Structure 1
Amino acid sequence: MPAPTFLSQIQSRVRIEHVFFAILIVAIILRFAFLDLKLFHHDEAIHAWFSYKLLTEGTYIYDPVYHGPFLYYVTAGMFALFGDSDLVARILPCIFGVALIPLVYCLYRMEYLSGKVAIIAAAFMAIAPELIYFSRFVRNDIFVVFFSLLIVVAFLAWIQKGKWYYLLIAGVSAALGMCSKENMPLVLVTFGLFFLYLVWSRKFVFPKMWLRDIVIAVIAFAGVICLFYSSFGAHPEVIFTAGQSAISHWLDMHGQQRIGGPPYYYMLLFVLYELPILILAVVGVILCLRRPNDAQKPKEAVLETADTELFESSEETVSAEPLAPAKKKFSLVDLFRRPERPVLINRQEEFIRFAIYWTIIACLTYAYIGEKVPWLSLHQLVPMIFVAAYALSFAGKYTKPLMIIACAFLLVMTFHVAFTPADIAEPIVQVQNSEDLVVMMAEMDAADKIAIASDQAWPYSWYYRGDAWNNISYYGKKISEDSILSGNFDIVMMHDGDSYESLPGYEKKTIRLSYWLDGGATGTNPGWLTYYLTRQGKIGSINTDVFTKISS
């Protein structure tokens, strides 16, 4: 027998926990590195400014236009601890993005994912471009996807262990998701329907003290929601109006399609940024549908009968050999049929079925919703990653090379969208503040008197908060040339569409205020393929005319 090589000795000592730890380090680096490299997005500036107002003035009342209160309270808390800055505002989104990795590990430990599937899923979570981009972004969606996955993990832990505090965690997670953004009810309805399926199909057994546990979780759920939406008691009336105002506002936005797009909008984003995950997810759905139920059980699967406590702790589980494939044609109905008698339950198979269901429902839901914005892709991407990992686990000897190719693609896109310190022609930016403002604000910092004679207050309201705003005269619209000249301003800024041809004694230049990918994204290019390979697209922008006083 040949002596083991040095590499094989190392491999024999590597445990799955070591791999998860390495993935976690990668996730931390990609989310926290150069965290303030880019200026705030338009929405980030608004969210940070409201958080700053909450901290300095103690004022906050729920407005569905700006989503739930959770983001504002936790961001204000971070400002209180570490000071108000772009970097500090982005720390918590980064932490929540990184925290998805431990949740995947929990699913592995509870045997809902095999080791291979868990590692692949964790790796994709760590480097997926959209997950990284919006983990470095002061918006609510990374909180919602974290709380969504935490609900799943905590609920499964409650079923497995029967401890009341796991369902309490699920209830609080659901409440914090509700306090984060108005799309959380869609997630809860999605989960609730699958739960009803499990009960109906007798694949679910309640723990002994289930009624007590549910009462505790519901009380906690209601309490958290009341605390946040009442602004911790400052506005108790909002508790009774928040739901109606949120539904009215977002139904109106859906009807208006203020930021519209085709039903396949998010598929285009996945093609641009998550192509390997999308392809593998499609393969995963096909594999799950085409493989007979009794042939879907991987070697690491745990099977149990429905008359035992489903999902007991691992030391009490019973292993079973896979049954022979049934000699009949595939039937979609059979995948979700009601069993006549207690049936063999495979945790990993059932979880993947849930992930496929979650992915399909999320994709259909957001395809239908009229408002199309890139951060909503996260709610489809997270379950999709589990399906993609499931598919790749069947690749056999091709698993490693396919994983390398997939990770290389994802990392290239990640570095492009998250670490390019320039204006990029990408739909993921939505309406991003231009890097032109870095030079502009350096000039403003050196000026004594500044006039903004337009309605373009953002992101200056954030970057010149507090006493820094004292040097700025904000008019909100174009004013007469005589009024501007009498003000003796060092810098005058105006919307380029409602500006002066020139100002005596001033030098004029035009810069981008904010920008986006324009139209079909191809500009003068021959088509989508050229754009896809070169990313040389046409950029649309809101521009500012800047008049700088000429030194005498």
Structure 2
Amino acid sequence: MTADEQSASARRWTPDAVTAFGRTVGTRTAIAVLAVTLLALSLRFYALGARVFHWDEGRVGYWILRYAENGIWEYHAVIHGPFLYHVNKYLFQLFGASDFLARVPVAVVSGLLPATAWLFRERLGRVEMIAVGLFFAVNPVVLYYSRFMRNDVLLAAFMVHALAFYVRLFDTRKPRYLYAGTLMLALAFTTKENVLVYVVTWMGAAVLLLDHRLRLADGDRTAALPGPLGEAARAYVAAREDGVSRSGALSRDALPRFGRGVLSSRWTPHAVAGLVFFFAIVVFFYAPRSRGIAEPGLWKAFSNPGTFPAVIEEATVGSWESFVGKWGEGNQKSYIKTFKSLGAVLWAGAPVLLALSVVGFVVDRFAGDRPRDLVSFAGYWGFVSVLGYPVIVENAFPWEVVHAVVPLAIPAGVGLAIFVRWGAESVADGDAVSATLTALFVLLLAGQVAAAAVNTAYLHPADRYLDDAEQNENKLLQYGQPAEGLRPTLDRVRYAVNRNDGTDVLYYGSDFYVADESQNDRWAAGGGWYDRLPLPWYTEKYGAVVDSTTDLDEVASNPPPVVVARAEDREAVAQRLDGYRAFEHELTLWGSRTVFFIDREYLRPAGDSSASRQPVAPPAGV
């Protein structure tokens, strides 16, 4: 065969070979992303019901149980969006209420976050996709609150899912991604009111991306990076083609072209249908339910269509007014104090992610022809959240940090991939010292993340301190978490309730007193009900008949099998009870010592286990 014939043969076979190689690499990457997603789900489902409900979980859980019982629900911004109410109501009716099942929706939605990396495959390299997925899976802040029945992780996850589908829509022009993204966006609006902050942040990030088109100069911008960082960036630039079929940056006329495409005859029906789809989901979730009362309700409207306008108005206009009003006041405290409080949580739960997000964002900005829009967008979104949330939050609770950590996982994954690729380049070049140092550095980072995740999510999920010396405070916990050790006593309460007729649980004292217990059947509850939390979730779940009093003589007259009082009333109550055993616990991390008096006749038999639950061990391999 002549040289020309060999050349022609090479030209003929190379495209097929490259395509086959691409398919193989793509399949391996997809399998790796799938494996990370399964890891994320496993970490979230392992011992998901072990930790006793937090105060906030108990409050929402109780209202879901009442809603499932009486069929009455209406939106109140103070208890946040309707997603968990409606989804968990159906789950409880199908499978029975439990701590585990109540947390399942959050665990599933957040556990699927690593899978979104695959939707970014036109924008991220192979190593970057896996790294981003790992940060979604194991970051301690995200992991802890993914095992928590609260809306913050739901909101952040739905918005990342929405972004991923919309990016995929832009890359493929396939209408199905429009509907998938719109579904995720609409569900985000059903979780928590600070979705409005996300919308504003996204708009700001989009403006900054436009600035990229207008201001950033061409050329080798890695020269501006100092020392080892510049060296790592140049190695990264050399290898960034791995699996990225496009630059990840928009051309100057891409947005106008996309806008014209949306307005074209092909996209107009999809745009209109997407808008209708969005509002249909919002109306379904926010529409009131009013079984048994003389008020408009969603299901009533199907038998009385004339009430549909009132239902839709309440689900949209009425909910919107309440929705916006929730964020009207913002932070009334010192910005610096709030920033320090949230910053302490960031430093405790996401130091590696935070540092690598800066590295990934900066290097991507100075690498190649121009920064990639996805990395810049997520970086702006996350960094603005770090600086902005101290302005808007009412309280510096640790779960607020989730809204910065989740978007920063994307530039952090890029940052981690830089060092991985740098190490690979060192191996290829025979530079053993650089390769070893890079490997040790990456292992050190991984070890820090894994240790923090295991400590907070499994070993000390309800402990104020992470060490026996009580020097290392668990910054991820919020004050409303009952201290470790309450679970065995709750099991004793359930055992007593199941074997008693009449009043099962009597609360004593002004802290717990409610003049009429029926006030607690619908939001909002009366009197001292809130100081009982999270106990109402458990007593309602056990089917207990509950009463309360401030009269010690009433305690003595005909005591039920369980009497609950504050620790300062322990002696006075104990003198009026005969044959009861006392169990004392904190209903919050500190400052709320409460005594459970349980009739010895209703305690478990001697052979029945009632030992205190030990800290949950981490899953194998973590």
The TM-score with structure 2 as length reference comes to: 0.68
Structure 1 residue 355 and structure 2 residue 378: aligned?
Answer: yes
Would the aligned equivalents of 2:505 and 2:563 in 1 still touch at CA under 8 Å? yes
Change in CA separation of 1:546 and 1:463 when aligned onto 2, cut-off 3 Å: closer
- Residue 412 of structure 2 corresponds to 388
Of the three residues 131, 142, 164, the one matched with 1:131 is 142
Change in CA separation of 1:444 and 1:408 when aligned onto 2, cut-off 3 Å: same
Aligned equivalents of 1:550, 1:197: Cα separation in 2: 67
- Residue 545 of structure 1 corresponds to 595
- Max radius of gyration: which structure? 2
Of the three residues 55, 74, 97, the one matched with 1:84 is 97
Aligned length, in residue pairs: 459
Letter in 2 for 1:377: V
Aligned equivalents of 1:171, 1:60: Cα separation in 2: 25
Shift of 1:208: 5.2
Shift of 1:264: 2.8
Would the aligned equivalents of 2:209 and 2:376 in 1 still touch at CA under 8 Å? no
Shift of 1:284: 3.1
**CA RMSD of superposed structures (Å):** 2.9
Change in CA separation of 1:541 and 1:484 when aligned onto 2, cut-off 3 Å: same
- Residue 618 of structure 2 corresponds to none
Aligned equivalents of 2:190, 2:576: Cα separation in 1: 52
- Residue 388 of structure 2 corresponds to 365
Q: Deviations over 1:330-350 (max 9, x none)?
A: xxxxxxxxxxxxxxxx6x722
Would the aligned equivalents of 2:109 and 2:158 in 1 still touch at CA under 8 Å? no
Q: After the TM superposition, which segments of 4 or more aligned residues of structure 1 sit over 6 Å from their partners?
A: 11-14
Would the aligned equivalents of 2:559 and 2:577 in 1 still touch at CA under 8 Å? no
Of the three residues 69, 74, 89, the one matched with 1:56 is 69
Letter in 1 for 2:279: A
- Residue 458 of structure 1 corresponds to 533
Aligned equivalents of 1:198, 1:104: Cα separation in 2: 21
Which of the pair is proportionally richer in helix? 2
- Residue 242 of structure 1 corresponds to 319
Equivalent runs, 1:106-255 vs 2, <5 Å? 106-108=119-121, 111-198=122-209, 201=213, 202=252, 203-204=254-255, 205-206=257-258, 209-211=261-263, 212=268, 213-231=270-288, 233-234=297-298, 235-238=311-314, 239-252=316-329, 254-255=331-332
- Residue 38 of structure 2 corresponds to 25
Structure 1 residue 271 and structure 2 residue 284: aligned?
Answer: no
Equivalent runs, 1:8-23 vs 2, <5 Å? 15-23=28-36
Aligned equivalents of 1:242, 1:498: Cα separation in 2: 43
Q: Equivalent residue of 1:541, what SS? A: coil
Q: Deviations over 1:331-380 (max 9, x none)?
A: xxxxxxxxxxxxxxx6x722211121111111122121242111121110
Q: Which of 422-431 and 498-507 deviates more?
A: 498-507
Letter in 2 for 1:85: S
Structure 1 residue 445 and structure 2 residue 494: aligned?
Answer: yes
Q: Which of 457-466 and 381-390 deviates more?
A: 457-466
Letter in 1 for 2:591: S
Q: Equivalent residue of 1:433, what SS? A: coil
- Residue 84 of structure 2 corresponds to 71
Change in CA separation of 1:442 and 1:394 when aligned onto 2, cut-off 3 Å: closer
Letter in 1 for 2:166: F
- Residue 584 of structure 2 corresponds to 511
Would the aligned equivalents of 2:463 and 2:483 in 1 still touch at CA under 8 Å? no
Would the aligned equivalents of 2:331 and 2:395 in 1 still touch at CA under 8 Å? yes
- Residue 481 of structure 1 corresponds to 552
Structure 1 residue 434 and structure 2 residue 445: aligned?
Answer: no
Shift of 1:459: 2.2
Aligned equivalents of 1:491, 1:54: Cα separation in 2: 26
- Residue 401 of structure 1 corresponds to 440
The TM-score with structure 1 as length reference comes to: 0.76
Aligned equivalents of 1:459, 1:260: Cα separation in 2: 32
Aligned equivalents of 1:50, 1:194: Cα separation in 2: 37
Would the aligned equivalents of 1:512 and 1:541 in 2 still touch at CA under 8 Å? no
Identity of aligned residues (%): 22
Q: Deviations over 1:402-422 (max 9, x none)?
A: 332222111111111111267
Shift of 1:276: 1.4
Aligned equivalents of 1:45, 1:260: Cα separation in 2: 31
Aligned equivalents of 2:35, 2:458: Cα separation in 1: 21
Q: Deviations over 1:297-340 (max 9, x none)?
A: 2xxxxxxxxxxxxxxxxxxxxxxxx6xxxxxxxxxxxxxxxxxx
Of the three residues 30, 42, 53, the one matched with 2:55 is 42
Unaligned regions of 5+ residues in structure 1, if any? 1-10, 298-321, 323-345, 517-539
Q: Equivalent residue of 2:591, what SS? A: strand
Letter in 2 for 1:134: Y
Q: Deviations over 1:388-429 (max 9, x none)?
A: 222222221155433322221111111111112674112322
Would the aligned equivalents of 2:117 and 2:132 in 1 still touch at CA under 8 Å? yes
Shift of 1:282: 2.9
Change in CA separation of 1:548 and 1:95 when aligned onto 2, cut-off 3 Å: closer
